[in-house]
Chains A and B, each alone.
Chain A
Protein backbone atom coordinates (compact mmCIF):
# COMPACT_ATOMS: atom_id res chain seq x y z
CA UNK A 1 0.00 0.00 0.00
CA UNK A 2 0.98 3.62 -0.17
CA UNK A 3 2.84 4.98 2.80
CA UNK A 4 4.78 7.90 4.09
CA UNK A 5 7.59 6.89 6.40
CA UNK A 6 10.54 8.24 8.32
CA UNK A 7 14.13 7.01 8.32
CA UNK A 8 15.02 7.86 11.93
CA UNK A 9 12.59 7.43 14.77
CA UNK A 10 14.70 9.49 17.25
CA UNK A 11 17.08 12.39 16.96
CA UNK A 12 19.05 14.03 19.78
CA UNK A 13 20.85 17.32 19.24
CA UNK A 14 22.50 20.03 21.28
CA UNK A 15 20.92 23.44 21.55
CA UNK A 16 22.13 25.64 18.73
CA UNK A 17 22.81 22.77 16.35
CA UNK A 18 20.94 22.34 13.11
CA UNK A 19 18.52 19.40 12.92
CA UNK A 20 17.49 17.40 9.88
CA UNK A 21 14.49 15.11 9.93
CA UNK A 22 13.93 12.84 6.94
CA UNK A 23 10.87 11.29 5.38
CA UNK A 24 10.36 8.90 2.46
CA UNK A 25 7.09 8.61 0.59
CA UNK A 26 5.94 5.96 -1.83
CA UNK A 27 2.80 7.41 -3.42
CA UNK A 28 3.79 8.74 -6.83
CA UNK A 29 0.50 10.67 -6.92
CA UNK A 30 1.56 12.71 -3.88
CA UNK A 31 1.61 16.38 -4.75
CA UNK A 32 1.39 18.18 -1.44
CA UNK A 33 3.41 17.57 1.70
CA UNK A 34 3.11 18.95 5.21
CA UNK A 35 5.31 18.85 8.29
CA UNK A 36 3.64 18.81 11.67
CA UNK A 37 5.08 19.21 15.17
CA UNK A 38 3.40 17.48 18.09
CA UNK A 39 4.32 18.47 21.62
CA UNK A 40 3.47 16.30 24.58
CA UNK A 41 -0.25 16.45 25.39
CA UNK A 42 -1.05 18.54 22.32
CA UNK A 43 -2.36 17.99 18.85
CA UNK A 44 -0.19 18.16 15.72
CA UNK A 45 0.69 21.73 14.80
CA UNK A 46 1.34 22.85 11.23
CA UNK A 47 4.96 23.90 10.60
CA UNK A 48 5.47 24.19 6.87
CA UNK A 49 4.21 22.74 3.62
CA UNK A 50 5.45 22.27 0.08
CA UNK A 51 3.80 21.44 -3.21
CA UNK A 52 5.28 19.09 -5.77
CA UNK A 53 6.10 21.90 -8.20
CA UNK A 54 8.73 23.16 -5.73
CA UNK A 55 11.88 21.58 -4.35
CA UNK A 56 12.58 23.94 -1.48
CA UNK A 57 10.57 26.18 0.81
CA UNK A 58 11.76 28.25 3.74
CA UNK A 59 10.03 29.47 6.81
CA UNK A 60 11.23 30.96 10.05
CA UNK A 61 14.20 28.74 11.07
CA UNK A 62 12.73 25.84 9.08
CA UNK A 63 13.35 24.67 5.55
CA UNK A 64 11.63 21.83 3.73
CA UNK A 65 13.36 20.10 0.84
CA UNK A 66 11.58 17.87 -1.63
CA UNK A 67 13.33 15.42 -3.94
CA UNK A 68 10.71 13.92 -6.21
CA UNK A 69 13.22 11.74 -8.03
CA UNK A 70 13.88 9.64 -4.94
CA UNK A 71 10.59 10.48 -3.21
CA UNK A 72 12.27 12.05 -0.22
CA UNK A 73 11.32 14.94 2.01
CA UNK A 74 13.33 16.59 4.74
CA UNK A 75 12.77 19.20 7.42
CA UNK A 76 15.73 21.30 8.48
CA UNK A 77 15.56 23.27 11.70
CA UNK A 78 18.23 25.90 12.16
CA UNK A 79 19.67 26.76 15.57
CA UNK A 80 17.55 24.17 17.32
CA UNK A 81 16.14 25.22 20.68
CA UNK A 82 14.83 23.19 23.63
CA UNK A 83 11.33 24.33 22.67
CA UNK A 84 11.73 22.44 19.40
CA UNK A 85 11.69 19.14 21.30
CA UNK A 86 8.64 17.27 20.03
CA UNK A 87 7.52 14.54 17.66
CA UNK A 88 7.70 15.58 14.02
CA UNK A 89 5.47 14.07 11.36
CA UNK A 90 5.51 14.35 7.64
CA UNK A 91 2.16 13.94 5.94
CA UNK A 92 1.13 13.48 2.38
CA UNK A 93 -1.87 14.62 0.36
CA UNK A 94 -2.38 12.80 -2.94
CA UNK A 95 -4.03 14.90 -5.63
CA UNK A 96 -4.59 17.76 -3.23
CA UNK A 97 -6.05 19.92 -5.96
CA UNK A 98 -8.55 17.27 -6.90
CA UNK A 99 -10.98 15.24 -4.88
CA UNK A 100 -8.79 13.77 -2.17
CA UNK A 101 -10.77 15.80 0.34
CA UNK A 102 -7.89 16.00 2.75
CA UNK A 103 -7.00 12.36 3.15
CA UNK A 104 -3.71 12.99 4.84
CA UNK A 105 -1.40 10.01 5.28
CA UNK A 106 0.95 10.48 8.20
CA UNK A 107 4.42 9.06 8.56
CA UNK A 108 5.71 7.25 11.62
CA UNK A 109 7.03 10.32 13.43
CA UNK A 110 10.51 11.31 14.64
CA UNK A 111 11.16 12.21 18.24
CA UNK A 112 13.45 15.24 18.39
CA UNK A 113 15.16 15.89 21.72
CA UNK A 114 17.15 19.10 22.15
CA UNK A 115 19.63 19.19 25.03
CA UNK A 116 20.48 22.57 26.59
Chain B
Protein backbone atom coordinates (compact mmCIF):
# COMPACT_ATOMS: atom_id res chain seq x y z
CA UNK B 1 0.00 0.00 0.00
CA UNK B 2 2.77 2.40 -1.05
CA UNK B 3 1.53 6.00 -0.97
CA UNK B 4 3.53 7.39 -3.91
CA UNK B 5 4.90 4.81 -6.31
CA UNK B 6 7.16 5.33 -9.29
CA UNK B 7 8.16 2.96 -12.04
CA UNK B 8 10.71 1.98 -13.04
CA UNK B 9 13.08 2.23 -10.08
CA UNK B 10 16.10 2.01 -12.38
CA UNK B 11 16.33 3.11 -15.99
CA UNK B 12 19.48 2.64 -18.03
CA UNK B 13 19.34 3.75 -21.64
CA UNK B 14 21.37 5.23 -24.44
CA UNK B 15 21.68 8.84 -25.46
CA UNK B 16 19.05 9.92 -27.94
CA UNK B 17 16.38 7.49 -26.75
CA UNK B 18 12.91 8.45 -25.54
CA UNK B 19 11.72 7.14 -22.16
CA UNK B 20 8.85 7.55 -19.71
CA UNK B 21 8.58 7.40 -15.94
CA UNK B 22 5.23 6.73 -14.30
CA UNK B 23 3.93 7.93 -10.96
CA UNK B 24 0.82 7.10 -9.01
CA UNK B 25 -0.41 8.26 -5.61
CA UNK B 26 -3.20 6.77 -3.51
CA UNK B 27 -3.34 9.54 -0.91
CA UNK B 28 -6.18 11.49 -2.50
CA UNK B 29 -3.93 14.53 -2.98
CA UNK B 30 -4.83 17.19 -5.50
CA UNK B 31 -1.29 18.22 -6.43
CA UNK B 32 1.57 16.18 -7.90
CA UNK B 33 5.17 17.10 -8.65
CA UNK B 34 8.32 16.02 -10.40
CA UNK B 35 11.73 16.80 -8.91
CA UNK B 36 15.24 16.17 -10.16
CA UNK B 37 18.04 15.29 -7.73
CA UNK B 38 21.57 15.64 -9.05
CA UNK B 39 24.72 13.82 -8.01
CA UNK B 40 25.30 16.36 -5.22
CA UNK B 41 21.89 15.57 -3.75
CA UNK B 42 20.46 18.94 -4.77
CA UNK B 43 16.68 18.67 -5.22
CA UNK B 44 14.94 20.97 -7.66
CA UNK B 45 11.33 21.11 -8.70
CA UNK B 46 10.59 20.60 -12.37
CA UNK B 47 6.80 20.50 -12.70
CA UNK B 48 3.66 20.60 -10.63
CA UNK B 49 0.09 19.70 -11.50
CA UNK B 50 -2.96 20.68 -9.49
CA UNK B 51 -6.15 18.82 -10.40
CA UNK B 52 -4.58 17.76 -13.71
CA UNK B 53 -3.63 21.34 -14.56
CA UNK B 54 0.01 22.42 -15.01
CA UNK B 55 0.80 25.12 -12.43
CA UNK B 56 4.57 25.02 -12.05
CA UNK B 57 6.89 24.67 -15.01
CA UNK B 58 10.43 25.52 -14.07
CA UNK B 59 13.17 26.15 -16.60
CA UNK B 60 13.21 22.64 -17.98
CA UNK B 61 14.09 21.71 -21.58
CA UNK B 62 11.00 21.06 -23.67
CA UNK B 63 12.30 17.52 -24.21
CA UNK B 64 10.64 16.90 -20.83
CA UNK B 65 6.86 16.62 -21.06
CA UNK B 66 4.69 15.78 -18.06
CA UNK B 67 1.24 14.30 -18.51
CA UNK B 68 -1.47 13.94 -15.91
CA UNK B 69 -4.29 11.64 -17.09
CA UNK B 70 -6.06 12.01 -13.74
CA UNK B 71 -5.41 13.42 -10.26
CA UNK B 72 -3.73 10.22 -9.08
CA UNK B 73 -1.21 9.95 -11.91
CA UNK B 74 1.59 12.14 -13.22
CA UNK B 75 3.92 10.70 -15.83
CA UNK B 76 7.12 12.18 -17.21
CA UNK B 77 8.19 11.62 -20.79
CA UNK B 78 11.69 12.54 -21.88
CA UNK B 79 12.66 12.81 -25.55
CA UNK B 80 16.16 12.62 -27.02
CA UNK B 81 17.87 11.79 -23.76
CA UNK B 82 21.18 13.51 -23.08
CA UNK B 83 24.07 12.66 -20.74
CA UNK B 84 23.12 15.54 -18.46
CA UNK B 85 19.72 14.00 -17.85
CA UNK B 86 21.33 11.36 -15.66
CA UNK B 87 19.90 11.92 -12.19
CA UNK B 88 17.34 10.61 -9.74
CA UNK B 89 13.80 11.78 -10.54
CA UNK B 90 11.31 11.97 -7.70
CA UNK B 91 7.58 12.17 -7.88
CA UNK B 92 5.70 13.74 -4.98
CA UNK B 93 2.14 14.62 -4.04
CA UNK B 94 0.35 16.80 -1.52
CA UNK B 95 -2.69 18.85 -0.77
CA UNK B 96 -1.91 22.46 -1.72
CA UNK B 97 0.30 24.14 0.88
CA UNK B 98 0.88 20.91 2.81
CA UNK B 99 4.02 18.76 3.15
CA UNK B 100 4.81 16.76 0.08
CA UNK B 101 5.05 12.98 0.13
CA UNK B 102 7.77 11.56 -2.08
CA UNK B 103 8.19 8.34 -3.99
CA UNK B 104 11.44 6.41 -3.80
CA UNK B 105 12.82 7.79 -7.04
CA UNK B 106 13.77 6.61 -10.52
CA UNK B 107 17.50 6.38 -11.11
CA UNK B 108 18.10 7.35 -14.72
CA UNK B 109 21.49 6.56 -16.24
CA UNK B 110 22.36 7.63 -19.76
CA UNK B 111 25.08 5.67 -21.52
A residues apposed to B, CB below 8 Å: 32, 34, 36, 38, 41-46, 49, 87, 89, 93, 96-97, 100-104, 106, 108-109
B99 touches A43 (CB 8 A): no
A residues within 8 A CB of B104?
A: 41-43
A103 touches B97 (CB 8 A): no
Once A43-B90, A44-B90 are accepted as A-B contacts, the answer to whether A106 and B44 lie under 8 Å apart by CB is: yes
A45 touches B102 (CB 8 A): yes
A49 touches B99 (CB 8 A): yes
Which of B48-56, B65-73, B77-85 lies on the face that meets chain A?
Answer: B48-56
Of A44, A93, A97, A103, the contact of B56 (CB 8 Å cutoff)? A103
Once A32-B97, A93-B97 are accepted as A-B contacts, the answer to whether A103 and B90 lie under 8 Å apart by CB is: no
Nearest neighbor of A41 in chain B, beta-carbon distance: B104
B43 touches A46 (CB 8 A): no
B42 touches A108 (CB 8 A): yes
A44 touches B102 (CB 8 A): yes
Interface size on B, residues (CB 8 A): 25
B42 touches A101 (CB 8 A): no
Apart from the given pairs A36-B102, A102-B94, A102-B98, 14 other A-B contacts in the complex at a CB distance below 8 Å: A34-B99, A42-B104, A44-B43, A44-B102, A46-B100, A49-B99, A93-B97, A96-B97, A101-B96, A102-B96, A102-B100, A103-B45, A103-B48, A109-B41
A residues within 8 A CB of B41?
A: 38, 87, 108-109
A-B contact pairs, 23 of them (CB 8 A): A32-B97, A38-B41, A42-B104, A43-B4, A43-B92, A43-B103, A44-B43, A44-B102, A46-B99, A46-B101, A49-B99, A89-B43, A97-B97, A100-B97, A101-B50, A102-B33, A102-B94, A102-B98, A103-B56, A104-B100, A106-B44, A108-B41, A109-B42
Nearest neighbor of B102 in chain A, beta-carbon distance: A43
